[in-house]
Structure 1
């Protein structure tokens, strides 16, 4: 059993300006995506040039932040949003949703592909492997912030988080770092190393993240103001991951079916 180290969520304080570790983790995540993207954009099969990648990362970052903020209040705090719509602007109060951020990125990809006349599925396949390590950085930020803790557990690596009481808990943020971040990145990077049917890399991302997130939700505490949605164990995170899994399976099925038809033609 371990005790959570008392980490100050503020990395740097300059007068009234506070720079939080959570925000820095977002910057690190975008920087990693940009670095990996520059390498992938130099490949002959890349749908975009390195210069176009810079714009994509910039607008993608906006999509992530806006989508994650809006998604949190639509999925997890709708009544509060209706009462006070300006809560969207108060970023310092926290509240970000991965599924909302994903929708924001999808909108950016659709608009970007349309404006540059790039095949949307090829662009999505290009971008999917760039995302997981950024997700992992966000989970490190969650751990530093002391949020999204797991359920009470007696596993040897359980951790006591004093504000929640003396009971040891699953460090579910670290589970998500390992699965949604490191494992998903390794899977997608390996899968995309060879030519694959259009849409299959993006489909694998959706399936992989959805399954990993749904699995970790069994160890993570549900949002206190929402609780379990059904059967005493179904959470909002699992409910939102289900459409991802179905959409990902559909993309992969379509990609391989279309690819097989081309081979027979």
Structure 2
């Protein structure tokens, strides 16, 4: 069923949320492009969030490099960027709320004590450890199966308690866990649609369970394919993927566009690329564009 921009433009808010551990590479461009196109096809907003909560992995200046890369490819965000490192008091406030509600608990387990599949067996679930004995803090996952529709991957379901168990929201090193802060940020920013790489698909059920516990509405999700190297490994900064080439921006955009399953666009500049790509994206995902105010 086609969705009209008239119905979605006023409430569509998407985001691109890179970790500043290095420059963007061709793999991260796929997620950036998909999230940008989906927001523009809906006539909505596209936000930029710098996910620098994992401080040991942050590369100095990488956030600014990422912003320059996006602008060089014609991707302009629609509001002031948000840095997670500036929101620590907010995360602490939510943590204290969950603690008061007995939705979280301290855990003394080490990584070596977990089963090979990573599922937490609930060892500390009922121990009521004093705070000074807790290595990490876990969210009490309620029973039940989490079901959702992924706009690229199709129907998904997961029994989070059975398959993942109570998950960490504050790590043993004192840093907030990704699963915790991303839910708070998406909720506080009013994100309606999350478009990101398929490597994060498995996190979605956990994030939806936590979002509901915090009183947030769960965003729609789309998990796009990953770009892999010649050995089949996902392109990533950890695997030393090279920064994307900005010397030929149209060719770089077309490379990502084709990796998303589209035919290369015969265009002469980046503005023409986005003008041509946006309606093609809209057509593929049944987004009517009759009410768009511009063709960009």
Interval of TM-score (by shorter of Structure 1 and Structure 2): under 0.3
Instruction: Report the TM-score when normalising by structure 1.
Output: 0.23
Structure number having the greater helix percentage: 1
Which fold has the larger relative contact order, with Cα–Cα distance below 8 Å and residues 6 or more apart in sequence?
A: 2
TM-score by length of 2: 0.22
Structure having the higher strand fraction is 2
